[in-house]
Amino acid sequence: MKWLLTKGRLPFLVLLFFATAALGYRAAGVAVEISNESMNARDDSIVSMRERLRTQFGDDEDLLITVTAHEDLLPIVARFGTRLLEIPGVRSVESLTNFEHAVPGRAGAQLVPLVRPPLDAADAAARLEASLARSPSLVGLLISEDRRTAAIIVQSRQPPQAEKAEQAPKAEQAPKAEKDLHAARLIDAVRALGDEIERSTAATVRVTGLAVQKHDVARFVAHDQAVLIPAAVVVIGIVLWAFYRTVAAVVLPLAVTGLTLAWTIGSYATAGFALNTVTSLLPPVIMVISIATTVHVYSAWLSVGAAIAAPLERVLAVIDAMRFPCLFTSLTTAIGLASLGLSDTPAVALFGAFSALGVLISFVLSFTFVPVALMFLGPPDSASLEGTGRLARVLEFAAEISTQRPRLVVACAMVLVLPALFLIPTIRSNTDLVRFLLPSAELHQDTLWIDEHLGPTSTLDVLVERADGGPLTGIDDFESLARFAHELEGIADVRRVLSPVDPLAALHAAEAGLDAPQLPDHPADLDYLFELVDMFDDRSAVSRFLTADRSAARVSVGVGAIGTSRAVGVLSEIERLAPSSLGPSLRATATGAFHQVAVGSQRIVRDQVVMFGVALVLVVFLIGLAFRSATIMFIALVPNVIPLLASAAVMAAMKIDLSTGTAMIASVVIGLAADDTIHYLARFRREYSRGVDSVEACVRTTTLGTGRILTMTSLVLTFGFWVGALGSFTPTIYFSLFSGLTMLFALACDLLVLPACLVLLRGRVEQWTQA
C-alpha cells in the first residue's frame, strides 16, 4: 500500500484513466432493449408454446389503430389503410373497408367486402349496418358500439434478414437488435402517418398494442438515463456540500461514483447486454450505493485532522481504521443485491449481478483511488465533523432516550411495527404494463381510451388440440369449442371470446341460406365447410383461428387493460373450466404474449420474496461472523427488519401493488441498511476497548461520535434514491421513493433501537466486548 501511495501514484492514475476511458466509451454506447424479452422468466414450456402460437397463427403483437370521426369515417379508414400498406415492414392491414365476410350467393357461400364501394355514398352507413347484422362479432373488434370509432389491425413482417433465416440455425438468425430497430421504425412511421391523417381530416387517431408498449418503454428508458444521472449528480453534490462545505468532500465521492458507473455500465455493455425497464435503474442505484464507503473514508480522514502530521501515516491510519467495517458493509450490500441474481428472469438477475459488481468496484476505488487522492490534499480540518446545531441536539436526544428509556424505545418500535403484520398480507402482487406509464404518457391515454370505447386491448390466447393428436374435424369437437367459448364469456373480466366457431357458423349460415349463424348438424356439411375454407385460403376469418391442417384451434379471450393479478385469476378460471367444457378428447393450453407477461411477473414477485429471505439470512450471518457473536447477530437483526416492515406497511396502507420494481426494494435496501448497523457496532466496540466504564456511556459516545456520519450517508442515499421519482415508470418511482423511505427508517432504528437493545442486553454485550 505504501508503494501505491508514494511511487505508484502516477502510474496508478494513468492506468485508471485509460481503463476508465475505454469502459466509459462502452458505457456511453449501451443499447436499450426494445423487445423487452429479458423481462420474461426462463420457462422453456411457456416460450415454446408461444412460439407454436406465432408459427401457426402469426405474430401475436399486432398494432391496434383506431380512427374516431363523426363523419366520413369509412373513407378516412380506407385511405389510412392504403397508406399503411406503403410503410416498409407492414405485412397486412385489416379494417372495415377490406374485411370480407360470408354471404349467400348463387352457388352457395361467397366472400364479399363488408362494405362495398363507394364508401362515401349516402347509403354506406346503412349497408354497413346490414353487414354487421350478419357478422355481429365485428362490433367491438373493428367498430365501436356508437359507430364513431373504427379499428385498423396492422400485422408486421420480420426484417428481410430475419425472414431469410427463419429456417436457419438459431445462431444464424437475424440479430435481435436489428429486429428491435425494425419494429421501432415501423411504429414511428405509423404514428407519423396518424399525425398526418389527423392534420388533413377531422379524425382522431390512437395507437396501442404490445409492440407499441415495448417501443415506448424503450424510449422512456433512454429518456430517464438522460434525466436521472445528471439529477443524481446535482442532488448528491448538494447534500455533500451541505454537510462538509468543502470542494474535496463533494468532488471525491462524485469522482468515485463516476468511475464506478463507467466501470460497471461499461462492463455491462461489453458483455453484450442492453438496458431494460429493470436494469435502467442501474445507473442511479450505482451512483447512490457507491457514495457511502467513500464518505466514511473521507470522514475518517477528517477525524484524524492534524493529529498525524505526515500525510502517508495519516492516510495509512485511515485505511487501517476503516478497512474492516467498510469491507463488511460492502459485502452485506453486495449480498443483498446479488441475491437478485438468483432470479430466473434475466432482467432482475442482471440488475442484481451488476449492481453487486458496482458495490465491489466502489469499495476497491475507495481504498485505492481515494487514498491516492488524499495524498495530494493538505492537512484536514476536523472542525467540519463537530456535531453542532440541530443535528447535535437530535443526536443528544437519541443518546439520552436510548440509554435512559431503552424499554420504551423498543416497545414503541414494536407498537409501530404491529400494524404491518396485518397490513402486509393485503398487498396485491400485480403488474400493469399500461398503468406503469405515467397518466400523461400518450400510450397510457390511448390504450385506456380504446379499451373503454372500442373493445378489450389485451388478449389471453388458448390453444385447443385433440388429446390423441388428431385433427379437429368432428362436429363434437366444435360443439365442445362452442360450449367452452360460451362458458369463458361468463368469467369476470372477460369481455370478448373469439374462436373458429363464430366464422364457421357464419359460413354455414351463408352456405345453407340460414337467417342466423349456426354450426352444421351433419359431418358431411362440416367437411364441405372445410373445403370452402381451403378454397378461400387466408381470406376467410376461419384461418385466423384454425390451422390449415386442423391440428389446433385458437381461442382468443379479450380481457381489456387489466393487470396481471386479475389476468392470473382469469387464467385460473380457464384452467378450471377447460376439462368439463372440452371433455377428455380435447386439451387446452393458455399461451400468448399477455399470458407470458402475467405468469412471468407473478413468478418474479414470488421469487424476489424468496431471494430477500436468502439475503436477510446471509447479511445477518455475515454480521454475526464479523463480530463473532450470536448476541450481536440477534441485536443487528432487529433494526434491519423493522424498517422493511414499516415501509411494507406504508405500501399496503397506500394500496401500492407489489410489482417487479417494488418487490426489489427489500433485497436492495437490506444490505444498505445493515451498513449503518455495522459502522455503529464497530465504533461501539472501539470505544468500549478504550476503557469506557459502562455500556450506557459507550452508547452515548458512539451515537454522538458516529451519528453525524450515519445521518449524512443515510441522507445521501435517501435523496439519491428519491431522484428516481423523476422517472417515467410508476414501479421505478415507487422503488425509488420507498427505498429512500426505508433508509430513513433504518437510520432511526440504528440511532434509537440498536443502542436501546445494546443497553437492555448489557450483560451479553459486555461479554462480547471483552472476548
DSSP 612-668: HHHHHHHHHHHHHHHHT-HHHHHHHHHHHHHHHHHHHHHHHHTT--B-HHHHTHHHH
pLDDT > 80? residue 294:
yes
| pLDDT given at position 39 | 72
pLDDT at residue 172, rounded to an integer = 38
Residue 364, pLDDT > 50, answer yes
Q: What is the pTM of this model?
A: 0.83
Q: State how far the Cα of 740 lies from the Cα of 238, in Å rounded to an integer.
A: 17
Candidate from 107-111, 114-118, 682-686 with smallest mean pLDDT: 107-111
Q: Please tell me the distance from the alpha carbon of residue 483 to that of residue 581, in angstroms, as a whole number.
A: 6
Q: How far, in Å, CA of 666 to CA of 674, rounded?
A: 12
**Residue 305 — pLDDT band, cuts 50, 70, 90?**
low
pLDDT band for 719, please (50, 70, 90 cuts): very high
Q: Identify the weakest region by mean pLDDT among 264-273, 328-337, 372-381, 484-493.
A: 372-381
The confidence band for 85, taking pLDDT boundaries of 50, 70 and 90, is very high
Across 85-98, average pLDDT: 90
Q: What pLDDT was estimated at residue 174?
A: 43
User: Residue 175: how many CB atoms within 10 A of its CB?
Assistant: 11
Cα 314 to Cα 757: distance, rounded to the nearest angstrom: 35
Residue 158: band (very low, low, confident or very high) from pLDDT cuts 50, 70, 90? low
Torsion angle, CA of 540/544/549/551, rounded to 10 degrees? -140
Q: pLDDT confidence of 462, banded at 50, 70, 90?
A: very high
Span of 111-115, 174-178, 447-451 with lowest mean pLDDT: 174-178
Lowest mean pLDDT among 18-22, 133-137, 254-258, 687-691: 687-691
Give the CA count within 13 Å in the CB-facing half-sphere of 440: 4
The lowest-confidence range among 339-343, 404-408, 591-595 is 339-343
Q: Looking at residues 54-65, what average pLDDT do you find?
A: 82
Range from 78-82, 377-381, 561-565, 595-599 carrying the lowest mean pLDDT: 377-381
| In the predicted structure, residue 110 carries a pLDDT above the cut 90 | no
Task: Output the pLDDT for position 33.
Answer: 80
pLDDT in tens, 646-692: 988 998 899 888 887 787 888 888 888 888 888 898 888 888 777 77
Distance CA 735, CA 120 (A): 53
Question: Picking from 462-471, 528-537, 578-587, 736-745, which range would have the lowest pLDDT averaged per residue?
Answer: 528-537
How are strands ordered across the β-sheet holding 586-591? 496-498, 553-558, 459-466, 586-591
Q: What percent of the chain has pLDDT over 90?
A: 35
The per-residue pLDDT for 173 is: 37
H/E element holding 232?
Answer: helix 210-244
* Predicted local confidence at residue 612, as pLDDT: 78
Using the structure block, give the residue that is written with the C-alpha cell 406504508: 650
What's the pLDDT at 397?
93
Taking residues 231-252, report their average pLDDT.
Answer: 89
Strands, sheet with 204-208, edge to edge from the N-terminal-most edge strand: 90-94, 149-156, 63-68, 204-208
User: Quick check: 162 pLDDT over 70?
Assistant: no
Q: Please report the pLDDT score of residue 151 as a whole number.
A: 95
Q: Which of 74-88, 379-393, 408-422, 632-646 has the lowest mean pLDDT?
A: 379-393
Kindly tell me if the per-residue pLDDT of 450 is higher than 90: yes
Q: Is the pLDDT of residue 58 over 80?
A: no
| C-alpha grid cell, residue 40 | 420474461
* Average of per-residue pLDDT across 454-462: 91
pLDDT at 167: 44
Gap between the Cα atoms of 685 and 503, Å rounded: 79
Cell numbers at 125, concatenated:
352507413
| Residue 427 predicted with pLDDT over 50 | yes
Q: Which of 46-50, 445-449, 682-686 ranks highest by mean pLDDT?
A: 445-449
Give the pLDDT band of residue 95 (cuts 50, 70, 90). Answer: very high
- The whole-number pLDDT of residue 306 equals 59
Helices marked H in 85-140 — which ranges?
124-134
- Chain mean pLDDT for the chain: 86
Neighbour-count burial of 203, counting CB atoms closer than 10 A to its CB (0-12 exposed, 13-18 middle, 19+ buried): buried
Tell whether the model's pLDDT for residue 342 goes beyond 60.
yes
In this prediction, residues 709-735 reach a mean pLDDT of 89
Q: How far apart are CA 400 and CA 394, in angstroms?
A: 10
